[in-house]
Amino acid sequence: MLSIDFIRDNLEKVKESCRQRGVNFDFDRFVKEDDQRRSIIQKTEDLRRQRNELSQNKKPDQDAITQGQQLKEAIKKAEAELREAEEKVNRFVAEVPNVLMPQVPAGTSEDDNVILRSWGAPPEFDFEFKSYLEIGEKLNLIDIPRAARMAGSRFNYLKNELVLIQFALLNLVYKTAQEFKFQPVIPPVMIKPELMESMGYKDLKENNIYFIEKDQLNLVGTSEQSIAAMYQGEILEELPHRFIGYSTCFRREAGSYGKDLKGILRVHQFDKAELFSFCRPEESAKEHELLISIEEKIMQSLELPYRVMLLCGGDLAKPSATTVDIETWLPSEGKYRETHSSSNCTDYQARGLNTRYRTEDGKLEYLHTLNGTALAMSRILAVILENYQQSDGTVAVPKVLQDYLGFKVIG
């Protein structure tokens, strides 16, 4: 989250950033409440100073004792007022999103995102091509009806060769990421709600986050969340600190009712390999470019046509200062669909988690955190099935995966 002092010192900048995101906050009320908080802090400190001065009298008379009791009660009352004032200000600060970077385009929705570049050409089929769901059901790779009977909508069984391809993809991802010294990690998929809030995921409904009430834990929507929280309250010495995490992810998808209800593109449970980096502030822009380049390297090795999108302010998540998506061609829909997302969250998450580093002059400063999708498995499996389908109903396996498998064709 942003600090109170940062918002006060950069009030117009924060206001403009919120305006570009299409969100409104009552900053006048915030300033008024923060002024009250500061006034109470001053009053509390003055009362404590008076009590300390009074306590230095080694032989207090009755008046001094009475004054001391009065000061004690006044301090107790002031501290209660301060707690209430701080709660008000902190609740406001927790809602304010990260400040956008200068390159973020204006806009309110995905329609205002900017195409940075494209790679590869969409396939041209000389036969009547099918959707990934048709292919998956025909070749006994995807089972939606049985999953629906078992758990309801937005669940699926992945089967047979598709499962093997998922693990081949994971091998490809780990091999590629380790070339750039990303440490492999399988993180927990449950996390304390207060840590989620400190990273900017306060509104659980808005962020489609599952909550286990009995255990007071959230299920992660991405391994970014549990990797970011790994070093809460710690000081990192060797930077950048890079991870490639793999986990099952859980999302309610409550805000997408009726959209991609069938299939495996938008589901409640999916597996994802995630790139994550802790770095110094002056290195984060370059680090972001590295994450994007790794995503593109993986996609190019799979020979899948994609385009790179710079997201507008209105399409960014609250912790992100800038986000770049990769959208991959999906023949059945005749358009590109999001398969990757990479964000620079600057010090927004590290500040909430109190994760810092030591500068050359010995000062402790907050790190920058960055995340990027290496591969969201269900989505990439869908685009592989469609882009690699053949006229005889089979599906070719991308060449880069064939060494990990014992077959070149599905079906």
Q: What's CA 157's distance to the chain center, in Å? A: 26
Q: Annotated catalytic residue: which of 223, 320, 341, 378?
A: 341
| Residues 347 and 367 sit within 8 Å (Cβ to Cβ) | yes
**Please, are residues 65 and 55 in contact by the beta-carbon 8 Å criterion?**
no
Q: Is 131 a catalytic residue?
A: no
**118 classed as catalytic:** no
Count CB-CB contacts under 10 A for residue 4. Answer: 17
**Strand order of the sheet with strand 211-212?**
190-191, 217-219, 211-212
Question: Which among 251, 277, 332, 386 is annotated as catalytic?
Answer: 251
251 a catalytic residue: yes
- Catalytic residue chosen out of the listed positions 19, 38, 51, 266: 266
Catalytic residue flag (residue 79) = no
Helix/strand/coil (H/E/C) assignment for every residue in the chain: CCCHHHHHHCHHHHHHHHHHHCCCCCHHHHHHHHHHHHHHHHHHHHHHHHHHHHHCCCCCCHHHHHHHHHHHHHHHHHHHHHHHHHHHHHHHHHHCCCCCCCCCCCCCCHHHCEEEEEECCCCCCCCCCCCHHHHHHHCCCEECHHHHHHHCCCCCEECCHHHHHHHHHHHHHHHHHHCCCCEEECCCCEECHHHHHHCCCCCCCCCCCCEECCCCEEECCCHHHHHHHHHCCCEECCCCEEEEEEEEEECCCHHHCCCCCCCCCCCCEEEEEEEEEEECHHHHHHHHHHHHHHHHHHHHHCCCCEEEEECCHHHCCCCCCEEEEEEEEECCCCEEEEEEEEEECCCHHHHHHCCEEECCCCCEEECEEEEEEEEEHHHHHHHHHHHCECCCCCEECCHHHHCCCCCCEEC
Pairing mode, strands 364-366 and 409-410: unpaired
338 as an active site residue: the answer is yes
| Given the residues 16, 81, 110, 338, the one annotated as active site | 338
Q: Which residues are catalytic?
A: 251, 266, 338, 341, 379
